[in-house]
A = this chain, B = another copy of it.
Amino acid sequence: MKSLFGSPGKLSGLVLRTSQCLFSAASLAVMATASGFSSATSFSFLIATMGLEVLWSFGLACLDIHALIFKKDLHNHIVLCLVVIGDWVSAILSLSAACSSAGVMIVFIKDTDICRTQPTLACDAFQISIALAFLAWFFLAVSSYVMFWLLANI
């Protein structure tokens, strides 16, 4: 069993999970507090997906901390299988939510000029939240590839 950067039960794995958790929590918080986020269904989907990612990454970060403290080995087939499936579902959902929100944002800013005509919409906050969601997805994608690689080599 190879031990790669970002493997479960390693410090690099914990750093990756913590980054995912922080960026998705920040994305969720910024979007949920932005005025007018309910104007687009995609923004609500982003909030739901980021909520799911916070829970998933927080759970795995706790598992990493437990493994680091008690020096447990998490490289077994069942744990890796579950983490790979969860990671990929979560990564695909995150990318979908971030991209659909980005598509809506382009309509609001470029295609229709709604952001200028309706100052009640917190367009800057929407954009920050979407950027944070892309960052959260990036770290989750790195974890997903590492887990899939480990599973293929087990």
Contact = CB atoms under 8 A, between A and B. Distances in A.
Interface in A127-150: 145, 148-149
A95 B104 contact: no
A92 to B, nearest CB: 7
A1 interface: no
Contacts of A100: 99-100, 102-103, 106
Interface residues of A, number: 23
Interface in A39-57: 39-42
A92 B141 CA distance: 11
Nearest to A148: B148
A104 B103 CA distance: 6
A39 B107 CA distance: 9
A117 interface: no
Interface string A83-116: 0000000001001110111111011001100000
Given A96-B99, A100-B99, A41 B106 contact: yes
A66 to B, nearest CB: 27
A21 to B, nearest CB: 22
B111 A103 contact: no
Given A99-B103, A104-B104, A152-B152, 5 more contacts: A41-B106, A42-B106, A97-B99, A99-B99, A148-B149
